[in-house]
Amino acid sequence: MNNNTLAVVLSNYELKYSDISVFLDKEERSYYVYLGIALLERVSINEEELGYKIFIGRLYNSGVSLKKLKERFRHDHRTIKKWGEALKSGDIGIIEKAFSGRKGNVKAKLEVVNYIRHHRERYLLGKKYREVIVKEVEEIFGIKISKRLVSEICKKQFLKGRDGDFLGKGREKRSIIASFEGRMRGNFSGMLQRSPFFMLRSRKFLIHHGGQILFEGYMSNYIGYERQLLIQLLQGHVNIEQSKGLCFRSIGIFIDRAVRVLREQREQIAREGTKDNIHRLYMKNKELLRDGPDKGKIFYFDPHTKHYTGQLKILKGWCGSLHRASKVLNLDCFHTISGRVCFIKHYSAYYDLRERFFISLREFDMLFKEDNRHGRTFIIDRAIYSEACLNNFDKDYLITWEKGYRGDGWDKKKRVISFEREKSKNSKRGKVRRYRFSCQVSKWKKNEKFRRIIVKAKNDNEKEIEVSILCSDPEITIQDAVWLMFNRWLQENDFKYLIKHFGIDQLDSYAWDNFEERAFEFRDKKVVSEEYKKLKRSSNKLIKNISKKLYKLKQKKKKLKQLETEKLSIEGALRLPETNKSGELRRAIAGVKRQIKTLNNSIDKLNKEILELEKQHEIIEEKQVNMLSETSKIQYLIDNSYVLLNVKRKAYIDAIRVNAANIFRNLNDIFRPIYDNFRDDHHYLRILTRAPAIVSSSDSFVHFMLWIPGTLQNYIIEALKQFIDIITQQINSMNPYKELKITLNRGPLFL
């Protein structure tokens, strides 16, 4: 800041006990506070802001006389002294009273506001919530308030964090409420004992989505709208457009405030979908994984391709589901070796996988502590294969297929390593699939950092395949390297699960950007120019035509040679004196001569056409030689009006989806050994977690009686009850101030 734009308010020469100087910025309307020659802070001159009042109180405490402060800042000396003394006290009650102004003792003091704002049953009470809250405030705090005051406290603008003036008409009230906004929110953000359902007062009611209580042990780490999105996903609504089927009054006991309107939800996602928030969500996801970042050393990397069916002109790439090139969005995903999602990065088709992996890896590294960002092993499909790309794995290791292997690497004289692996089919106690492997290992000649493992694999059907695996990890065993590579389909199955039950393939937003606006995000490449491509296509077309005509000419010449031979044969027969068919021979030779004449005319015409085509080809070749064959890819995409899908919102919701999927999988890992049926354990667990519940509460406990209306077999019910007991113990072990009870009921309810 140029000193010419600052006006002196307080000089350190005027102060006895301080080196503080205060200047006023005439343009930005802020105070600049200096300690000696160092800028200490910048304070707004807005008298309504809490920071301004604290600034005046600190000046008083630093030794500035009341007379000077009153003269320069025009506040009553009693107010200034009160601010300073409150700051020195360190008592939050005194500070609240001092900075709330003359009406700091109004009826709606902070604890009352806090209670009303976070009333857990407001969404369940409907239009009667004001009367109930007024009565409860009188019972608990001994204060009579109006229904209008309750409405003001619950206003949307206050709930969104804007200033409200319900404490009084004075300007001081708005600043003090804003200052405590973050503190009040923090009290309810990450502690299970403050989870919303524990705040229920003594009532009994039926709610939808009561099974959501089973996820509560993992939900306490999530706040705000991300918590609502998690609930929506876990209750089967895979995108916000499907949230119409939710009962927001019911989920109101699990979240601080429900955003009901679709437009508001879209706006909230647009605000929340920042890079920092996405990273924070993946850091939370890391805590859900037992073999994730900082815990595991082996990860699968898989590119999932989302086929785009819209009308926007976006880049095309290879679409595996279609087996051809099409408009696509790439979702590059890191999985743990147990098949759990760690991180997803979204891309257009501008870069191929060999480039995208290292871009994704830089962001994936941020989920690790700095000391753990090396020495990991990545298992990747053959799309990563290229000599240049393989050489880039300098701090980490790679296991992949050898691309183009022709089955010629097996040597009968070499040592063979044989082993078997098993996989359970439907349960731990049921049938298993057995896989038998025979392997030969050698150094890979193209790159000695890699071991080349030739594998012959057989399944239960005795069907054998031979493949080649490349491995740069020197410590991993041959058996583990081979099995990890053959077992990589678990991430494919996980993607199918994410698509079906969590909507990972949902586009979530129709937003897009012109390529020109985001061209700076991409590294430019050289591509064949469109003009050069057109000339090349024309050249190839001419060559094809010339080839056809040359072949046709060859056939006609062959036919001409046959006719010439036939003509000579007939002429020889006519010269014989004993022939009796001279008339027939003369007619035959006349016909042959006509065919020869027609054929010669056709040959002459073909020669002319070929000559013309060759001249055209020479002209095109000359143009190709004189034309630049390569051009900027970015400029080409700009000139041809390509666009990019704006995936910020999708990236944010996908991060929520990943968290939701892993939360559900954690519960399923508990339920699976109890039920011991891999085919439908997730199905019955999903029924349970989406079941309605009758909720009752007292001063000492909260009771959720989950109700399954379907008819389930007794052994399934018993497994579900065992699972509920385990989950209840886990939640209660976190020491909530109320005990949680969860029971299960089925069939008709008699109330």
Q: 520 in a domain, yes or no?
A: no
Q: Which residues of 528-561 are buried (b: 16+ CB within 10 A; e: fewer)?
A: ebeebeebeebbeebeeebeebeeebeeeeeebe
Tell me if residue 739 falls in helix, strand or coil.
strand
Arithmetic mean of pLDDT over the chain: 83
- Domain assignment present for residue 650? The answer is no
Residue 112 or residue 170, greater confidence = 112
pLDDT reported for residue 52:
84
Identify whether residues 469 and 547 lie together within a single domain.
Answer: no
Strands of the 38-44 sheet, one edge to the other: 6-10, 20-25, 30-35, 38-44
pLDDT interval class at 228 (50, 70, 90):
very high
Give the H or E element holding residue 478. Answer: helix 478-486
CA distance 80 to 176: 16
| Nearby residues of 329 by Cβ (< 8 Å), 6 or more positions away | 305, 306, 308, 314, 346, 347, 348, 507, 645, 647
Does position 159 have pLDDT exceeding 50, yes or no? no
- At 340 the pLDDT is 92
Q: Are residues 460 and 546 in the same domain?
A: no
Beta bridge partners of 644: 513
pLDDT confidence bin for 18, thresholds 50/70/90: low
| Per-residue model confidence as pLDDT tens digits over 625-641 | 777 677 888 888 888 88
Which residue reads 């369940």 in tokens?
Answer: 124
Maximum average pLDDT range among 125-129, 404-408, 595-599, 718-722: 718-722
Name the 3-class secondary structure at 695.
strand
Whether the CB-CB separation of 375 and 295 falls below 8 Å is answered with no
Residues 468 and 542 in one domain: no
* Interval 338-363 mean pLDDT: 92
In a domain, 229, yes or no: no
For residue 43, give the H/E element and its range.
strand 38-44
pLDDT tens digit sequence for 522-548: 888 887 777 778 888 888 999 999 999
* Closest to 198 measured CA to CA, from 695, 689, 723: 695
Find all residues with CB under 8 Å of 645, minimum gap 6, and list them. Answer: 308, 312, 314, 329, 348, 507, 511, 512
How many Cα atoms sit within 13 Å of 74 on the Cβ side? 2
Distance CA 282, CA 226 (A): 12
DSSP category for residue 220: T
pLDDT of residue 209: 92
Confidence tier at 173 by pLDDT (50, 70, 90): very low
Tally Cβ neighbours within 10 Å of residue 418: 10
Q: What is the DSSP letter of 214?
A: G
The token pair that represents 498 in the structure block: 């994410």
Going by pLDDT thresholds of 50, 70 and 90, the confidence category of residue 4 is low
Would residue 140 count as lying in a domain?
A: no
Which pLDDT value is given to residue 25?
77
Give the span between the Cα atoms of 728 and 745, in whole angstroms: 16
How does DSSP assign 326-370, residue by residue?
Answer: EEEEEEEEEEETTS-EEEEEEE-SSS-HHHHHHHHHHHHHTTS-G
Q: Residue written as tokens 């385990």?
A: 726
Q: What's the distance, CA 267 to chain centroid?
A: 18
**C-alpha closest to that of 201 among 732, 701, 707:** 701
pLDDT tens, 281-325? 999 999 999 999 999 999 999 888 889 988 899 999 888 888 888
Q: 618 near 307, Cβ under 8 Å?
A: no
Element (H, E) at 661: helix 648-675
In which element (H, E) is residue 250 found? Answer: helix 248-251
> What percentage of the chain has pLDDT greater than the value 90?
36
Domain end residue (candidates: 606, 627, 648)? 627
Give the least confident one: 150-164, 246-260, 642-656.
Answer: 150-164
Nearest to 345 by CA among 335, 336, 333, 353: 333
Q: Which residues contact 624 (CB under 8 A, 6 or more apart)?
A: 532, 535, 536, 539
Cα–Cα distances (Å) from 639 to 109, 329, 520, 527, 646, in that order, read 62, 21, 15, 14, 20
pLDDT(158) > 60: no
**In this predicted structure, what is the pLDDT of residue 693?**
93
Structural domains in the chain (count):
3
Domain edge (last residue) among 627, 644, 672: 627
pLDDT band at 90 (very low <50, low <70, confident <90, very high): confident
Range name among 142-146, 205-209, 702-706 with the lowest pLDDT average = 142-146
Contact status, residue 551 vs residue 533, Cβ threshold 8 Å: no
Question: Is pLDDT at 162 greater than 50 in this prediction?
Answer: no
Q: Is residue 699 part of a domain?
A: no
Structural domain boundaries, residue 88:
3-99
Q: Is residue 8 part of a domain?
A: yes
Q: Report yes or no on 482 lying in a domain.
A: no
Element (H, E) at 687: helix 681-689
Residues 6+ apart with CB under 8 A from 33: 20, 21, 22, 39, 40, 41, 42, 43, 55
Pair 456, 536 in one domain: no
Domain boundary at 570, 596, 627, which?
Answer: 627
Per-residue pLDDT tens for 361-370?
A: 999 999 999 9
Per-residue pLDDT of 568-593, as tens digits, reads 888 887 777 665 567 787 888 888 88
Any idea how long the chain is?
Answer: 751
pLDDT higher than 90, residue 437: yes
pLDDT, greater one: 705 or 52 = 705
Amino acid sitting at position 535: L
Q: Record the tokens describing residue 314, joined without a space.
A: 């976006």
Phi and psi at residue 563, in whole multiples of 5°?
-65, -40
Bigger pLDDT: 430 vs 124: 430
CA dihedral 144, 145, 147, 150 (to 10 degrees): -130
- In a domain, residue 570? The reply is yes
Q: What phi and psi, each to the nearest 5 degrees, are found at residue 248? A: -70, -25
Distance CA 701, CA 494 (A): 38
Please state, in angstroms and as integers, the Cα–Cα distance from residue 327 to each residue in 308, 316, 333, 354, following that order: 5, 4, 19, 19
How many CB atoms lie under 10 A from the CB of residue 340?
A: 25
For residue 114, give Cα distances in angstroms to 148, 156, 450, 483, 584. 16, 15, 63, 56, 120
pTM: 0.70
Q: How confident is the model at residue 494 (pLDDT cuts 50, 70, 90)?
A: confident
Tokens 């098993």 belong to residue: 422
